[in-house]
Amino acid sequence: MIARIDIAETDDTDALQRSWSAAARELAAHPGFRNARLHVVYRRINAPGYDLISIVRWTDVSAHYAAQAAGLALPLETGRGINLYGIVDQSDFVEQPAQRSHLVITNPYRIRQPQAAENAMMWGATRSLMAKRDGFISAELFQSYHPQEDAYYFVSRAEWRSEDAFMRQLAGKDYKSLVAPFEGTFQICLSRVVDEITRTG
């Protein structure tokens, strides 16, 4: 499995969301497409951030490129680098339909390859910590296939049943001590899944 992850800032979230939904429905009929989720950010915790994040999962990289060759693309597929990622760490994970009531935390990491190992260790430690908390559902860490490009090296996604559950975790001393040395390397944005397209046929 590979993921195409695109992060965008926009002055017209509704219009871009409509364009994304229409394009994603065309992608869904293409061989190798698994699913696509569009997240809309409603709160930024630690830094100015972005407005939308699109995560499209494909069975493999050739399926993604075949769709591109057929002229199929999402309106967010512009800007930062090639934006192809693979999962390098995750919690116990069962893929299930998105719930609009759930909170999704998306964190893009502005780091270089020499910083990757220590950042991945930090993420793994926080994932283990979060997994013990009430309200936690799942977490994934994606790593860029093209770190030399102008793309985020890591993007993480964590799902919680509610914002309150996550904020209790965020305020904990154990969490703060783990992430303190890495302040400034990643953004924390609170979002909801506003659209999900799954494989058709």
182 or 81, which is more confident:
182
What is the reported pLDDT for 41? 95
Indicate left, alpha or beta for 83 from its phi (over 0: left) and psi (-120 to 50: alpha).
Answer: left
Distance CA 29, CA 199 (A): 7
For tokens 């409509």, the residue is: 18
pLDDT tens profile 15-25: 999 999 999 99
What is the reported pLDDT for 94? 60
What is the reported pLDDT for 150? 66
Residues 6+ apart with CB under 8 A from 78: 6, 8
What is the reported pLDDT for 96? 72
Rounded mean pLDDT, 62-66:
93
Q: Is the dihedral of CA 45, 47, 53, 57 positive or negative?
A: negative
192 or 110, which is more confident:
192
What is the reported pLDDT for 74? 85
The yes-or-no verdict on residue 200 having pLDDT over 80 is no
pLDDT confidence bin for 81, thresholds 50/70/90? low
What is the reported pLDDT for 5? 93
Rounded mean pLDDT, 181-190:
88
For tokens 């992060």, the residue is: 7
CATH topology of domain 2-198: Alpha-Beta Plaits (3.30.70)
The yes-or-no verdict on residue 149 having pLDDT over 70 is no
Mean of all residue pLDDT scores within the chain: 89
Distance CA 187, CA 109 (A): 7
pLDDT tens profile 82-141: 689 999 999 986 667 788 899 999 999 988 888 999 999 999 999 999 999 999 999 999
What is the reported pLDDT for 17? 92
